Amino acid sequence: MTSALVPLEHFLALPAHARLLGLDLGTKTIGLALSDVERRIATPLETIQRVKFGLDAAALLKIADKHRVAGLVIGLPLNMDGSEGPRVQSTRAFVRNLAPLTGLPIAFWDERMSTLAVTRTLLDADASRAKRAAVVDKMAAAYILQGALDRLLRLQPADEDDEA
C-alpha cells in the first residue's frame, strides 16, 4: 500500500459519504477527530497514548478502518512566523513512516493556535484542569479537521452545494 501526501484540494475527489480523520500529533498522545459522512462537521473522537511508532500506527489505522475513513488530515505545527521547527520535522517523519502502511491520502493542515483556541474554549466553559487534560488533544484534532472541512466546502463547485 502506498498513500500519498497530497494537497487538501485532492480530497474533493474522494468518494461521497466517506469520512476524514483529523490528527493532532503530540509527543505523548495523538488526538483524533472524525468528520461526518457529508464532510461538514468534525467531532472529537478519542486520544491514543503514544507508545512507539508501530503500535501508534496500528491503532490509528485500525480506527481509520473501523470508521471507513477515506483520508487523513494531520495538523502541521508551524511556528507562529510560518517557519518549520523540530515539531514539524517530527510530524513529517511520522507521515513518512505512516504513508507506506496505508493507501489513504494524507494532507497537512496548519494547526497554529489550535490547542490555544481549544484551551481557551474549555477555560471559558469552566472545565477543570483534569477535564481539559483529558479532552484537549481530541478537541484540537477536531479544530484542525474542522478548518480543513471548511476549506473543502469553500472549494466545492457551486453545483455540488446542497440544493436549498
Q: Each residue of 57-98: pLDDT tens digit?
A: 999 999 999 999 999 999 998 878 888 888 999 999 999 999
Determine which helix (DSSP H) or strand (DSSP E) holds 118, and give its type and residue range: helix 114-124
Q: Does residue 164 belong to any structural domain of this protein?
A: no
Q: For residues 101, 102, 106 and 112, what is the CA-based torsion angle, rounded to 10 degrees?
A: -50
**Amino acid, res. 8:** L
pLDDT at res. 116: 67
Residue 144: give its domain's CATH number: 3.30.420.140
Mean pLDDT across 142-160? 87
Give 106's pLDDT tier (boundaries 50, 70, 90). very high
Q: Does residue 163 belong to any structural domain of this protein?
A: no
The count of domains in the chain is: 1
Residue 59: give the domain boundaries.
8-156
Q: Does residue 107 belong to any structural domain of this protein?
A: yes
CA-nearest of 68, 74, 63 to 16 is 68
Determine which helix (DSSP H) or strand (DSSP E) holds 39, and give its type and residue range: none
Residue identified by cell 446542497 is 162
pLDDT at res. 164: 46
